Structure 1
Amino acid sequence: MKNSKHILICTLLLLGSWMYGSAQEIKGLVFDLQSSQRLSDVLIENLQNKKSVRSNADGSFTIPGQKNDYLVLHAKGYERDTAFVYQDGVSRIYLIRDKSIIRIDEVTVSRMTDSRLNMEIAKAKNNSQAVETSKTRGGLRISPSRLFGKEAKIARNSIRVLELEQEQRMVDRVFTNELILSLIKLPNDQLALFKDKYRPSYEFVKQARKEDLTAYILDAYAKFKKQ
């Protein structure tokens, strides 16, 4: 009996150790942003634990790590990029070719990493500015071509698309399944409906404290149950 208990305890310890080890991994896929083609032999480095791996022939990779880690990706012919891992599941990371022109639309923007999104917002804001530096006369001057030109108009439209994506990501990272299920009990199909119907606004999330979010979710759930 003692031997049986000893074997059982060892088995449980090994199982617990295996489950813990499995949970400490980040799985992902690497794609080309424009073509959606999977990319092999991409070097992926975890900045937190300094571990590194290369993507497989199908673009997949597994690297030691966890949520809230930062991954740096290097691939020949592509710009270096940094990806923030903010949720469980398989991370889909899209890389941009060197010196390529990016088409700014909702689909393309949704695939960008946070660092790339910030870079594109800064670039679009710079292209939309009517004030430029005069190299010959010194100082600043108003450029009508930059104010009313096609490039400036495209840049201003791009800013709206890019900043909307940035705002949506902020809401996603606050209004999470984990937070909701820590306060209320909902099956998966009901959870999806609840999140869609009662998704908070960016303006609310931007200034909300933890207790504000808790009150918001509980109030929304009370309304949800009445339907």
Structure 2
Amino acid sequence: MKPKYFIIFSALFIAGTVNAQSVLKGTVYEAGKNNRMPNVFIRDDNNKRQITITDDKGNFEINTETGHTLIFDSPGYISDTLYVTNHAPKRVEMATKTITLHQVNVTSTRQSFDAHKEYPEVYTRSKVYPLSPSSWFSKDARDARRLKKYFKHEEEERHVDDVFNVTYVESLVPLRGQDLENFMTLYRPTYAFLKSNNGESLTVYINDSYKKFMALPADKRTLPSLPNTGKTLQ
């Protein structure tokens, strides 16, 4: 092999190796179970451009570096973090989130999240062009479309948080403390319901739900305890 070709080949090999080393793979599971979690949003807290989402089998791949921190988010689950110490395959577990009074208060005051402004490249990559097969079938395009759906769902959940808040529910039902948390978790309305009903209908819904809640046996008004799992496995 001629020297110049050997040098080019070596450079390409090294570049490919470095690139491969920066790809972290893993799988996300529901805490305490063996259920794999699809559509979990993952972002590199040290590199805003590096984002991804788990596939239908809970698997993910993301470009990151040692020393970086990955954030895992999924509606209905407690956000988890992973400090990258190496690029060995990871198993991440996410615990179910209940609505606590503290969480609701934080939710009601947090700044709105505009995915279009934060991640405009996702919406660009998610577009489908009739004469571009890659826009239909490439992994990058498919992931972008799934991220777009995730952002839409997150926006809807935030709307529910804003409308179905502690202050409003407390003004209608005499529940407080843990009973209120349990009630709001068990009878949380859907985004579709809120969009198709006005404030008066929501008031009726909450009052009717309260009657159903009080009619339940005492053991049915409590939420199951979360499994005692450790921190994210590495």
TM-score by length of 1: 0.48
Q: Which has the larger radius of gyration?
A: 1
- Bigger relative CO (Cα 8 Å, ≥ 6 apart): 2
TM-score by length of 2: 0.46
